[in-house]
Structure 1
Amino acid sequence: MGLTIGICKVSWPRSTKTARIVCILLFSLILHGEHPLSKESVTVTFVDPEWSHDLTEHTVVADDRLKDFTQETGIGVKHLPTPETTLDQLDLVRKLLRQGSSTPDVSGVDVIWPGVLSEELMDLKPYLATELSSINADVAASYTVKGKLVAAPYHSDIGVLFYRRDLLRRYGYATPPRTWDELEQMAARIQKGERARGQKDFWGFLWPGAAGEGLTCNALEWQVSEGGGRIIEADGNISVNNPDAIRSWQRAAHWIGWISPPFVTSLQEWDAINDFYHRGTSAFYRGWARTYLLSVRDIPSVRDTIAITSIPAGKNAQAATLGGFGLGLSRSSRHSAEALHLIRFLIHREIEIEEARADYESRNWPELYDPTAILRAKRSSAETGKQQVSGVVARPSTVAGEKYEEVSRAYIQAVHSVLLGQSRAPEAAASLERELVRITGFKTGPPSRNRVPTQKSLGRVSGARPAAASTTASAHDSLK
């Protein structure tokens, strides 16, 4: 894996202690050194976890936006990437922010990081009143700690199900699966058929099953959809040790070797998506909406074959994990005014891009689920004429606060041990419960039966454009 910084290409081994050390040393050198290509009197440093892959065509914050910012303001920007996995990204960003005067000015902040980074980042609420009026309160709350807006919501995201249009047509399916039961049936049938046609390494369902934050997102969707709760509820009750959560883990373990390959437990996010749409050896893949926007939608040959829909429902609900990044400003920044200017610029530029794209999308792909629906300001069902059906679930990062990293690591370890067959699910859940009590000091309790928030109830960052012609994911794509 490699990343381009300026004119140099930097490579590191994935998810290792060595990688983190190399990254920290690299960033320290860059932060302390002069930028060889910039002659501006002020240069702000932007550490960007979204720019963590060598995907030069689909960089989330494209270099031309930063060049436009420099051209308009005279302020230079050092744009720096991070490692691939979320936990490695957090390790690096946290260490950089705690370096004092040499810290980055602006940092991308994953939606699960605010509680961990709140002491290192400024409260942006007093400075972004206009922008906050267009940002949905539910999204902003994910970046708020004790009333402090740790980061300005920038790119929101949700889990979605990718599927092969051509294969569903081949096997007579008019719509993608609505439930986990339907997904299992369709995946098994398509897998059997494709292997009979000569693709011996074909599998029905791919998903990131490596021991990382992606597994937390997947497993949370499994258990919430079955009524198994959110690991730690909003009231602080540790709810994970319950029969519905346990059954959801057991079900996923049963997929391995049946409709999912044995190596699924080692797949990171980009390993899985590359296997899905480059190798073409699976029918379904659990991914993220923005991956479709950035890597699939604009490639006609791929778009005609691949589409997205909502995460399948269980007996309780249809749940998609909330993801995304905000933009935070370091309390130690030596250029806070210029850094705030960059944050405003990027947010407003994103609004402009979304508005320009809206009409084209609605005219050309009205049948597709609109993944930017989660970034749209709240609007009533009567106003839109659409039902609120699919749900979005947040990881327990706000309630866990600075303990979230430990909580997530413990959860990942428990679920991964079940998937690998190293632990039985009931024992793993009981052990996890004890560990979470130790980590947080919270009490145990039952899962909350509150309704899962609808996807459409979460506003988009810009809040500017009206709903596209498409419905929410659970309306399901027509395959005509």
Structure 2
Amino acid sequence: MKSTTTRAFQWVGTLAAGALLLTACGSSDEGAAGQAGPGTFEGRGPITYVAGKDTTGSMQPMLDHWNKLHPKEKVTFIQLPTDADAQRQQMIQNAETKSDAYTVLSLDVVWTSEFAAHQWIDKLPEKRFPLDKMLKPVVETAKYRDGLYAVPASSDGGMLYYRTDLLKKAGVSQPPTTWAELKADCAKVKKLPEAEGMSCYAGQFQKYEGLTVNFAEAVNSAGGVVTDANGKPDVDTAAAKKGLDFLVDSVKDRTIPKEGITYLEEDGRQAFQSGKLIFLRNWPYVYSLAGKSDIKGKYAVAPLPGLDGPGSSSLGGHNLALSTYAKNKATALDFMKFLSSEENTATFLKEASLAPPYAALYDDKALIGQYPYLPVLKESILRAVPRPRVVQYGDVTAAVQREAYAALTGSKSSAQALKDLQEALQKSTGR
């Protein structure tokens, strides 16, 4: 962590000019310090930034830089648990009490509709942000009913991490593109003495938001959907069953290790880095951290495999939203523009492997030379399928987690779990 912080301060100076420019361009709606009503952006002074725990160590140096340039408008970092469900719940509790303790919220991209529909976040002025320079699927996650309610700060696409050294030694020249190939490649690698005791594959299968992501990816990668483009549930299908069966069968045949049913993102990362896994489904942030581990130079990434070819990731990432009940909204708007700028999202790419929202960064030859996974990540994002964009997202994800986990643990068949999930989703969405 110390080395990350040290490097982060090395780029602080290079950001000064850009940050000063952003300050000079400040909001034309600014006013005196204090609380503004919904849709207004007045008031200057201290604010808070609320997000899940920063496991990369890259956020605080960025906030320190802002605070140095804005001593009267300092940002305090409020770190919530790493569990996405717990983050969402604490943000909702703050909103329901109409508290001004939270100012700028780092929302999982799938929460935008829910928070906007409940008027917990403000509609934002689109012209204040360079949305035309961002990837279109990423921008769409920040909208609700054609209005902008958040600003993309990072995107995310799931990728398949794999051990290049072991696949090469086993005679496997390319990473798998289908689930069948993944299992066949595992069988070859596990015959190596170096792979003794290793497991094949893991993702995020504990009963939390990560399971919703992994379940949706399996369903989409088999040609199914959880909900259609209009939010209507359609998960009790043959295609969806093929996706869920891949996960269930993989638990049964130990392609997914027994302990994999308990994994969150960090559990899988640590297992992969410590040599316990051949393949891992995870987010881009793992790339830089794995490069500091014992497997440095021994891994690469590929698109997620699917039933008959490359699969589809769930579209991840985080958007910046402004709490309806916050104070000092003029400062907040400037801070959101600062944090989501192309320069600063490029820094988060370099420091923490966070996927930037800006299209040009994925095509930058110099960056690709440093971060060879960028083309794979761009493909993952462009092919990604959003999780259900519904107002009742909390009920929907809870139902997905409950039924998918029941299937994975064997308390229900895949067919029964999908039938029950279809009924639960229809009840939750009224569709």
Q: TM-score range by the shorter chain?
A: 0.7 to 0.9
For the structure 1 residues 243 and 375, does the alpha-carbon distance in structure 2 shift closer, same or farther, using more than 3 Å as the test?
Answer: closer
For the Cα contact (< 8 Å) 2:368–2:374, is it kept in 1? no
Partner of residue 109, structure 1: 107
For the structure 1 residues 240 and 334, does the alpha-carbon distance in structure 2 shift closer, same or farther, using more than 3 Å as the test?
Answer: same
Measured in 1, the distance between the counterparts of 2:159 and 2:310 equals 15
For the Cα contact (< 8 Å) 2:304–2:311, is it kept in 1? yes
**1:163 alignment partner, SS class:** strand
1:22-421 correspondence to structure 2 within 5 Å: 42-49=45-52, 52-53=53-54, 55=55, 58-61=56-59, 63-74=60-71, 75-118=73-116, 119-126=119-126, 128-191=127-190, 193-194=191-192, 199-200=196-197, 202-229=198-225, 231-256=226-251, 257-277=253-273, 279-292=274-287, 294-297=288-291, 299=292, 302-315=295-308, 318-348=311-341, 349-351=343-345, 353=347, 358-364=364-370, 366=372, 368-370=373-375, 373=378, 391-396=383-388, 398=389, 400-401=390-391, 403-421=392-410
TM-score in terms of structure 2 length: 0.80
For the Cα contact (< 8 Å) 2:322–2:332, is it kept in 1? yes
Measured in 2, the distance between the counterparts of 1:187 and 1:404 equals 36
Letter in 2 for 1:106: V
For the structure 1 residues 198 and 67, does the alpha-carbon distance in structure 2 shift closer, same or farther, using more than 3 Å as the test?
Answer: closer
Shift of 1:300: 7.8
Measured in 2, the distance between the counterparts of 1:371 and 1:95 equals 38
Measured in 1, the distance between the counterparts of 2:344 and 2:379 equals 15
Shift of 1:131: 1.9
For 1:8-40, what per-residue CA distance to the aligned partner results, in whole angstroms no more than 9, with x for missing partners?
xxxxxxxxxxxxxxxxxxxxxxxxxxxxxxxxx
Letter in 2 for 1:135: M
Letter in 1 for 2:284: A
For the structure 1 residues 408 and 67, does the alpha-carbon distance in structure 2 shift closer, same or farther, using more than 3 Å as the test?
Answer: same
**1:319 alignment partner, SS class:** coil
For the structure 1 residues 253 and 130, does the alpha-carbon distance in structure 2 shift closer, same or farther, using more than 3 Å as the test?
Answer: closer
For 1:56-100, what per-residue CA distance to the aligned partner results, in whole angstroms no more than 9, with x for missing partners?
xx2342x22112112222221111111121111100111123332
Letter in 2 for 1:249: L
Greater RCO structure (CA 8 Å; 6+ sep): 2
Identity of aligned residues (%): 22
Which shows bigger deviation, 262-271 or 99-108? 99-108
Unaligned runs of 5+ in 2: 1-43, 350-359
TM-score in terms of structure 1 length: 0.72
**1:241 alignment partner, SS class:** coil
Shift of 1:356: 8.9
Letter in 2 for 1:313: G
Unaligned runs of 5+ in 1: 1-40, 377-389, 443-480
For the structure 1 residues 141 and 356, does the alpha-carbon distance in structure 2 shift closer, same or farther, using more than 3 Å as the test?
Answer: closer
For the structure 1 residues 244 and 130, does the alpha-carbon distance in structure 2 shift closer, same or farther, using more than 3 Å as the test?
Answer: closer
Shift of 1:153: 0.5
Partner of residue 434, structure 1: 423
**2:110 alignment partner, SS class:** coil
Letter in 2 for 1:48: A
Shift of 1:301: 5.4
For the Cα contact (< 8 Å) 2:104–2:323, is it kept in 1? yes
Measured in 2, the distance between the counterparts of 1:375 and 1:265 equals 24
Shift of 1:102: 2.9
Shift of 1:290: 3.0
**1:406 alignment partner, SS class:** helix
Letter in 2 for 1:44: I
Letter in 2 for 1:124: L
For the Cα contact (< 8 Å) 2:159–2:380, is it kept in 1? no
For the Cα contact (< 8 Å) 1:156–1:375, is it kept in 2? no
Shift of 1:198: 7.6
For 1:144-193, what per-residue CA distance to the aligned partner results, in whole angstroms no more than 9, with x for missing partners?
112332210110010000001111111011111111110011112223x2
For the structure 1 residues 303 and 360, does the alpha-carbon distance in structure 2 shift closer, same or farther, using more than 3 Å as the test?
Answer: farther
For 1:212-239, what per-residue CA distance to the aligned partner results, in whole angstroms no more than 9, with x for missing partners?
111111111111111122x110123321
Q: How many residues align?
A: 371
Partner of residue 35, structure 2: none
Moved over 4 A (4+): 354-359
**1:112 alignment partner, SS class:** helix
For the structure 1 residues 375 and 154, does the alpha-carbon distance in structure 2 shift closer, same or farther, using more than 3 Å as the test?
Answer: farther
For 1:359-398, what per-residue CA distance to the aligned partner results, in whole angstroms no more than 9, with x for missing partners?
54333455x453552699xxxxxxxxxxxxx7211101x2
For the structure 1 residues 80 and 410, does the alpha-carbon distance in structure 2 shift closer, same or farther, using more than 3 Å as the test?
Answer: same
Partner of residue 478, structure 1: none
| RMSD of aligned alpha carbons | 2.4
